[in-house]
Structure 1
């Protein structure tokens, strides 16, 4: 099967969607992401093929290869690994293992199941990337009625949108913006640290996502309690990147107005309009086919040749039942 993004020898990879309506990319941004990995296109193509060949020889990964090759996952992992094929192999094994171990976040998703969570929040990826660090900015804007909000539903939808981007986006870093305007103290009881920890593991230990910042806007009086609970499920390095902004001017020093929706002083469409566009896109027949394929990108632990699933994978034995959150 031909690799989706690696067919052209010039600076453009043939299937990068520079005209995607909701995920704008430029050649400069794509080049900057590749420069991070320190690979030219020939070495990048060779490295991706080497990793896919390796996966095809590993019994627990074999079935995933045809679907894995349709995405940019291997290429992304190779860039995050600074061109190291051996590190990339471990990353791929980790993420395919993590997706299988956390099916409640990563598998068997359908658009109709998200009606309740989308009545509670707007969740969107912004069309333009951050001009300084090339991170994709994602905004969560809480609505007034949060009766049916659960953290599990929220992260299930967040990974649903995020994994769709493994086909049509190109990047290795993200920033998260949380608009807390409509939150009340009741939200604290809905923050499950174990679910939060699973999401953090799947994001950073699995996909290796570089989290550039978590930005809290319109913070309520109980924001310190909210931040405390968030930090219970995060690594210290990620927790240190939480920013509580007292003004939009302060926020704009981290995320420039030029890429933001008009809700936050920018020129992009409103969060509500972006949310409606994302909802329509993810309900499309093509998106559903892509998401269904993602269900096949998991390891088959019954075919793993090693004698035991050791603690190298996700830093713990192959179960979250004994997960401790300090």
Structure 2
């Protein structure tokens, strides 16, 4: 069963995403039939899951098929991102509680859901930047299934670089960045409504240039850099911003614990998720490999950059 949208969300879905309730069941059945005929693909077929992907692709069935195939292919070709930490493992919750990545509370008015990333919160001698992407990968799945605001209105990303050092940046090799962007930008079916960056260390222009080059045009156009937290606050509803940033959205610890409980609630969902993916030996045509998708084996790093 698919949840019925509020009148306000239904209007946005109709006008911006070409969603028509009378056609929705036919589209869902079409996708389920298509999935069943793909010998290499073992994919989730829950109605609400597929509806979320349909919305992210503006109900283009061909785009949905490509997105679904890529999403499950990356579980095989980029397991160091998608499977680095499993939500059913206690260390997943330990990393979540560091506060490197969290989804902020929902605004009272219709507004994109906001993901706050704080890479400086982890110790690069014990964790890796990919851990953040793995955490984000699973949090996003929950949003896709249960949050109609996120699937219809979209998401924004706010990244705070406070505490980020050269050791953090040196982990972001070109191949790593390609994998992370493939997982986050290319396979996740969300409408990115903006990305905001604050407290950026001096001397990372080269990294930002590389990242911009890997983003699609919409993501580049919606990237904003802010001088300080006060300037960032001007672009987000105060009611969802954590108290630590001058907002009224509760403390970060409160927000993080709410998501820790949500991860526990979805334990069975994530166990089921471990069974989905692709069998490249059965793919019609040429099998997908990590070396072809990401150029694995030809890599570099940012170790020589000077960061203040």
What is the match of residue 179 of structure 1? Answer: 160
1:300 aligns with 2:275: no
Whether the aligned pair in 2 keeps the contact of 1:203 and 1:209 (CA below 8 Å) is no
What is the CA–CA distance in structure 2 between the aligned matches of 1:298 and 1:152, rounded to whole Å? 20
* Cα distance change of structure 1 residues 96 and 130 upon mapping to structure 2, 3 Å threshold: farther
How far the C-alpha of 1:157 sits from its partner, in A, is 1.3
How far the C-alpha of 1:226 sits from its partner, in A, is 5.2
How far the C-alpha of 1:239 sits from its partner, in A, is 3.7
Aligned residue for 1:213, secondary structure, equals strand
What is the match of residue 37 of structure 1? Answer: 17
What is the CA–CA distance in structure 1 between the aligned matches of 2:61 and 2:97, rounded to whole Å? 43
- Total equivalences in the alignment: 295
What is the match of residue 180 of structure 2? Answer: 199
What is the CA–CA distance in structure 1 between the aligned matches of 2:237 and 2:170, rounded to whole Å? 33
Which has the larger displacement, 290-299 or 27-36?
27-36
* Cα distance change of structure 1 residues 114 and 87 upon mapping to structure 2, 3 Å threshold: closer
What is the match of residue 30 of structure 2? Answer: 50
What is the CA–CA distance in structure 2 between the aligned matches of 1:212 and 1:193, rounded to whole Å? 25
How far the C-alpha of 1:187 sits from its partner, in A, is 2.5
1:95 aligns with 2:71: yes
What is the CA–CA distance in structure 1 between the aligned matches of 2:26 and 2:115, rounded to whole Å? 32
* Ranges in structure 1 where 5+ consecutive residues have no aligned partner: 7-11, 14-25
Please identify which structure carries the higher helix content. 2
- With a CA cutoff of 8 Å and minimum separation of 6, indicate the structure with the bigger relative contact order: 2
How far the C-alpha of 1:130 sits from its partner, in A, is 9.1
What is the CA–CA distance in structure 1 between the aligned matches of 2:251 and 2:204, rounded to whole Å? 25
Q: TM-score, normalised by structure 2?
A: 0.80
* Cα distance change of structure 1 residues 297 and 183 upon mapping to structure 2, 3 Å threshold: same
What is the CA–CA distance in structure 1 between the aligned matches of 2:233 and 2:219, rounded to whole Å? 20
What is the CA–CA distance in structure 2 between the aligned matches of 1:221 and 1:94, rounded to whole Å? 36
Quick one: which of 257, 261, 267 aligns to 1:276?
Answer: 257
Which has the larger displacement, 141-150 or 200-209?
141-150
Whether the aligned pair in 2 keeps the contact of 1:120 and 1:145 (CA below 8 Å) is no
What is the CA–CA distance in structure 2 between the aligned matches of 1:165 and 1:181, rounded to whole Å? 26
What is the CA–CA distance in structure 1 between the aligned matches of 2:226 and 2:293, rounded to whole Å? 38
Whether the aligned pair in 2 keeps the contact of 1:257 and 1:267 (CA below 8 Å) is yes
Instruction: Please tell me the root mean square deviation across aligned C-alpha atoms, in Å.
Output: 3.2
What is the match of residue 54 of structure 2? Answer: 78
Whether the aligned pair in 2 keeps the contact of 1:164 and 1:291 (CA below 8 Å) is no
What is the CA–CA distance in structure 2 between the aligned matches of 1:71 and 1:269, rounded to whole Å? 33
How far the C-alpha of 1:260 sits from its partner, in A, is 1.8
Deviation string 1:156-195 (CA, Å, 9 cap, x unpaired) is 1111222232322233432111222223343222323322
What is the CA–CA distance in structure 1 between the aligned matches of 2:81 and 2:14, rounded to whole Å? 29
* Cα distance change of structure 1 residues 100 and 287 upon mapping to structure 2, 3 Å threshold: same
What is the CA–CA distance in structure 2 between the aligned matches of 1:193 and 1:131, rounded to whole Å? 39
Aligned residue for 1:138, secondary structure, equals strand
* Cα distance change of structure 1 residues 103 and 27 upon mapping to structure 2, 3 Å threshold: farther
**Deviation beyond 6 Å, 4+ runs, structure 1:** 323-326
Q: TM-score, normalised by structure 1?
A: 0.76
